[in-house]
Amino acid sequence: MSDVKTAIMDAAERRMQQGGFGGFSFREIATDVGIKSSSVHYHFPTKEDLAAAVIRRWAEYTSELIDKELEKDPDPVRVWTKAFRGTAFSEAHMCPCTVLGAASQDLPEQVAKEVKGFFKMCQDKLVAEGLSPSKAAEVLSTITGALVLANALGDTAEYDRATRKFAASKRGRSG
């Protein structure tokens, strides 16, 4: 993948984290990267293509990160909680899949499909790691909602407050 193509996706990802699908334009992305909007169209013919590619990349990166972290810590709940915590405390604060997922009904087909794929991947992995479907849904909902809450309240500490239980599970100082 060319440097420019990666830079376009990086810029789109950053803006999608803040404003979702409607939160970026080809012109803004072009300005961010330092090229013209028509050049963005060269790499990604439509806005739908660009957004779908960004979400897919995010899903792949997340999946790989989880696998890597599971080698160091065998507790899936703690690993996933920590991974989403990294997003909450990052510069952009949000997971683009969460932003898009909240407005899923207004998304182009391909983008909605990729977003759905992301959450499906999360859930399947949690189940594969030993959790019941119900527990997997609960954990994923809590860390996803914690992201939304922390973002809306403008307070990253809210993430830790909401996930305190998970962060301490089966290894915390007190139990």
Partner DNA sequence: CAAGGACTATCTATCAACAGATAGTCATAG
Partner DNA sequence: CTATGACTATCTGTTGATAGATAGTCCTTG
Task: Give me the sign of the Cα torsion angle 161, 164, 165, 166.
Answer: positive
Q: Is 6 in the site for DNA (CB under 7 A)?
A: no
Q: Is 109 in the site for DNA (CB under 7 A)?
A: no
- Residue with token string 């803040």: 18
Q: How many CA atoms lie within 13 A of 79 on its CB side?
A: 21
26 binds, among its own copies, DNA, none (CB under 5 to 8 A by kind): DNA
Phi first, then psi, for residue 104 (nearest 5°) are -55, -35
Residue 27 buriedness (CB in 10 A; 0-12 / 13-18 / 19+):
exposed
- Residues 166, 77: contact at Cβ < 8 Å? yes
Q: Toward DNA, which CB reaches closer, 36 or 165?
A: 36
Q: Is 153 in the site for its own copies (CB under 8 A)?
A: yes
Stretch that binds DNA, among 42-50, 93-101, 123-131, 141-149 (CB under 7 A): 42-50
Q: Toward DNA, which CB reaches closer, 17 or 163?
A: 17
Nearest distance from C-beta of residue 157 to DNA, angstroms: 33
- Residues 29, 15: contact at Cβ < 8 Å? yes
Stretch that binds its own copies, among 30-38, 56-64, 70-78, 140-148 (CB under 8 A): 140-148
# of chain residues touching its own copies (CB under 8 A):
50
Cα 126 to the chain's mean position, in Å?
Answer: 16
Point out which residues bind DNA (CB under 7 A).
2, 4-5, 24-28, 30, 35-39, 41-43, 45-48
